[in-house]
Amino acid sequence: MPLNVLRHRTPEVVDRSRVTLTDQERTEVHALAAELRRHPAGGQVDDPRWLAQARPHSCRLPVRLLEALRDYRSEPGPDGTLLIRNLPIDAEALPDTPSEPDSVERGATVPATTAMLIGQQLGDVFAFRDEKRGALVHNVVPVPALAASQSNGGSVELELHNENAFHPHRPDLIGLLCLRGDHEGTAGTLFSSIRKARVLLDDADLAILRSPRFVTEAPPSFHAGDTTTAHRVLNGSLDDPDIQVDFNATRAIDDEAGTALRRLGDALAEVASELVLRPGDMAFLDNRLVVHGRTEFTPRYDGNDRWLHRVYVQLDGRAGLSHRIGPGPVLA
Ligand SMILES: O=C(O)CCC(=O)C(=O)O
Ligand SMILES: [Fe+2]
C-alpha cells in the first residue's frame, strides 16, 4: 500500500478524546507511581502481587483522566484513539534508550508504572509468551539488526496493521507511551479507523471483505505463531464492523479479494492521521477499529533514540483464558 503518499499530516490525532494533564495532575500521577514502587510487593511490574496492587492504585488516578478513560472504553469515537499528554516519565532519570532485540521494562520505573496504571484502569494488561519474552511493558525502540524489518524494532515505514492480527486473542486496546522522540522529530505514528474508511468503499467490496477469503501470518516480533485459517477482514456489525488486517501479513486467497483488500488499504490511507508522539504523550488505539503504522525515521543508536513503552489491554480478561500458560496474564 502506498503509505509514502500519505503526507497530509494532521497536527495531532483528530479526536474528541484527548486530555492534557495539568502539572498538578502530573505530580499526582508521579506520587502514585512512587507509592506503588515502595509497596512490599516489590518493584517488578510482571509480578502478580505488584499487578494486584496496581489495580486499586489505578482508581486513584486524577478524576479527569479517569473520566476520559471510562468514556473511551465505552465509546472510542470515530478515530478510535485517546491521547493523554503531560504524563510523568522521569525524563531526567531515563537511562540510555535500549537497542537490543526483544527489549522490555520489567522494573516498576515511573514511566512503566504510569503505563501500567492507565492500562489496568482501562482493562487488563496482558502479553504473549512468544513476543517480547512475555513481559507486560514492551520497549518500542530502533534495533540495528531490525532496521529494515516490518516490526516495532524497525525504522523503515511500518505498514498499517492491527496488532497481532493473526492471533485469536489479539489485544483490544494498545497503549504507546513516549519516553523519547526521534532526533529529527519526524517519526509519526499513523492511525486509521475503519469507522472513517468504510464509507469510502462500495457495497461489493464490503461484502468481499466480509467473506473468509484472507489469511494472516504472525508478525516478525513473534518468535512462533501459526498463519490463520481463512478469515474475514471485516466482522460483526454491518454499520460499525471490526477490522482484522495487517498490510504486511494478510494475503487474499483469490484475485477479486486481492482487489478489495487493495481498495481497503487505499481507503485507510486516505483517512489516516499522523501523530509525532512527544515525551509524556500516551496514545491508545482501539485495535478492533483502528490499524496503525509508523513513518520512517533515522535512528543514531547513540542512547538517545526514540523510545516508547507499549502495553496491550484486554477488556474481557476471561476471553483468552484457554490460551493462558500460567496464573499470570500471559497467553500462548
Ligand atoms: O513505532 C510506532 O509508533 C508504532 C510501532 C508499532 O506498530 C507498535 O509498536 O505496535
Ligand atoms: Fe504495531
Question: With 60 as the cut, is the pLDDT of residue 15 above it?
Answer: no
Cell numbers at 67, concatenated: 473520566
In the three-class reduction of DSSP (H, G, I as helix; E, B as strand; rest coil), residue 327 is classed as coil
Question: With 60 as the cut, is the pLDDT of residue 6 above it?
Answer: no
Q: Higher confidence at residue 326 or residue 282?
A: 282
User: Of 205, 279, 295, 283, nearest to 14 (Cα)?
Assistant: 283
CB 257 within 8 A of CB 178: no
CA–CA separation, 223 and 71 (whole Å): 36
User: Domain holding 137: CATH number?
Assistant: 3.60.130.10
Tally of domains in the chain = 1
Residue 311 lies in domain: 3-331
Please give the pLDDT value at position 92: 94
Write the DSSP symbol of residue 223: S
pLDDT digits (tens, 9 = 90+) for 48-106: 899 999 999 999 999 999 999 999 999 999 999 999 999 999 999 999 999 999 999 99
- Going from the Cα of 152 to the center of ligand 2, the distance in angstroms, rounded, reads 6
Atom of ligand 1 nearest to the CA of 161: 7
Overall average pLDDT of the 169-192 stretch: 98
Please give the pLDDT value at position 112: 97
CB distance 140 to ligand 1 below 6 Å: yes
Please give the pLDDT value at position 43: 87
CB distance 292 to ligand 1 below 6 Å: yes
CB distance 180 to ligand 1 below 6 Å: no
User: Of 276, 274, 280, nearest to 20 (Cα)?
Assistant: 280
Please give the pLDDT value at position 10: 53
292 is in an annotated binding site: yes
Task: Concatenate the DSSP letters of all residues of 11-45 into one string.
Answer: SS--SS-EEE--HHHHHHHHHHHHHHHHSTT-SBT
pLDDT confidence bin for 13, thresholds 50/70/90? very low
CB distance 163 to ligand 1 below 6 Å: yes
**What's the burial of 50, exposed, middle or buried (CB within 10 Å: 0-12/13-18/19+)?**
buried
pLDDT digits (tens, 9 = 90+) for 144-170: 999 999 999 999 999 999 999 999 999
pLDDT confidence bin for 14, thresholds 50/70/90? very low
Atom of ligand 1 nearest to the CA of 138: 9
The strand pair at 234-235 and 330-331 is best described as unpaired
